[in-house]
Amino acid sequence: MRAAIDTERLLGSLDMLAQIGAIDGGGCCRLAYSDEDATGRRWLASRMRMLDMEVRVDAVGNVIGRFAGRDDRLPAVMLGSHIDTVRTGGRYDGNLGVLAGLEVVAALRDSGLRPLRAIEVGAFANEEGARFAPDMMGSLVYIGGLSAEDALAAVDVDGVRAGDAAQASGCLGDAATPGPVPHAFLELHIEQGPILDREGFDLGVVEAVQGICWQRYRFGGVSNHAGTTPMSMRQDAGYVAMRVGALVRELPARYPGQMVATVGVLRLQPELVNVVPRRAEMTIDLRNVDREALLAARDDLDAEIRAIAAAEGVTVERESMAFFDPFDFDPGIVERVAHHCAATGRRVRRMVSGAGHDAQILGRVAKAAMVFVPSVGGLSHNVREHTAAEHLGLGAQVICDVALELAEEPA
């Protein structure tokens, strides 16, 4: 069974959704549970109904459209992602996965085909977590990893409850959570990184999502006059932090698992040209698909940090900001996706995702897989996010091909 994606129609859908919450520069602002988010969901639901899909909205606002199969007792093949954005979001992040799902259904209707299993398209609530924590909230509630009550109790920086915002904007429905476990879940997404674009690949087969370890270190030394304090008598908190920063960069090469390590924040006190810093605060972001390597890097680094600080007479405080385990997608479905990608004849790369996605949450209960398409310049969470039309169509076609194959699998 095969259906042909209409790239122009997919572009048209992306363009329509991008009008809702449009901001300067070509991007979108549809923060979770905002009026813009609600408007986007209503547009989406109406579009689903136009495609003969049955729409349900659950207790945290996940919008699921169902295109019936030949045997509706079988678990559906689910496609999707999210349509909420960060404050200065682009037009592809999330939206592409949802609208490619609708395009698969539209292509099926064009072809007059009816698969064995239903095809469902899900737009999961609050994937970004830009307003209410945690991110991937809707998919987490969908699989039963978080209760709807707990999710809606989240509060934004203005003190607004997620549940109140969602209720006020009309985002909530009455479908039960957790939702029915699908037969499989497929998500098409822009890469949110530069690899495919820079290396000239057309498609990425995502094998895993990196685990994330965020830590904050605070160093305490002694402020001293930069001119009158001999090097041997210093307890320089800034020096310790900078040594650690240089060390963090060398870390990835020492461990397996395509590790990345970043110092994004470093602040010194009192921050004067001629005063040895008394305090330094820094964040360290470590990511790896290999959980053991991630933990080893974290612990080895901590030991090295404490040795550097001790040699300088500087105190160390460590705070764990976040830790997410890595996630490996089911190898069987990954190989199937890789097979269909290869069949396009285009340049395909296997890769890991450095960002979190709904597919890794659905992957806890069902076979799940992701396809990446290049984002020009690797832009992400940026109004200038752009993916070439041919890549949008290509990615959607692979999702379509895999979905229809999965949808013919018997019980």
Q: Is 285 in the site for a second copy (CB under 8 A)?
A: yes
> What is the residue type of 202?
D
Q: Where would I find the beta strands (DSSP E) of 50-202?
A: 54-57, 63-67, 77-81, 119-123, 184-190
Restricted to residues 318-357, the positions that interact with a second copy (CB under 8 A) are 321, 353-355
Give CA separation, 215 vs 285, 299, 301, 314, in Å: 7, 11, 11, 18
Options 239, 255, 327, 329; binder of a second copy; rule CB under 8 A: 239
- Does residue number 254 form part of the binding site for a second copy (CB under 8 A)? no
Angle (CA) 42-373-381 rounded to 5° is 60
CB 333 within 8 A of CB 367: yes
Count, residues near a second copy per rule CB under 8 A: 57
Q: How far is the CB of 268 from a second copy (least distance, A)?
A: 6
Nearer to a second copy, 246 or 411 (CB): 246
| Least distance (Å) between residue 84 CB and a second copy | 18
Stretch of 11-19, 159-167, 374-382, 389-397 lying at the interface with a second copy (CB under 8 A) = 374-382
Q: How far is the CB of 266 from a second copy (least distance, A)?
A: 6
| 195: contact with a second copy by CB under 8 A | yes
Q: What are phi and psi of 115, to 5 degrees?
A: -70, 165
Q: Which of 210, 360, 387, 397 binds a second copy (CB under 8 A)?
A: 210
> Which residue in the set 113, 153, 176, 272 belongs to the binding site for a second copy (CB under 8 A)?
272
**H-state helical runs in 170-222:** 195-199
157 near a second copy, rule: CB under 8 A: no
> Which own/partner pairs from 330-333 qualify as long-range (CB within 8 Å, at least 24 positions apart)?
330/363, 330/367, 330/368, 330/369, 332/367, 333/184, 333/367, 333/368, 333/369, 333/402, 333/406
Strand ranges (E), 77-202 = 77-81, 119-123, 184-190
Please select the residue that binds a second copy; options are 275, 295, 316, 388, rule is CB under 8 A.
275
Binding-site ranges for a second copy (CB under 8 A): 191-195, 198, 210, 212, 214, 224-231, 233, 236, 238-239, 241-246, 249, 252-253, 258, 260-268, 271-277, 283, 285, 287, 321, 353-355, 378, 380-381
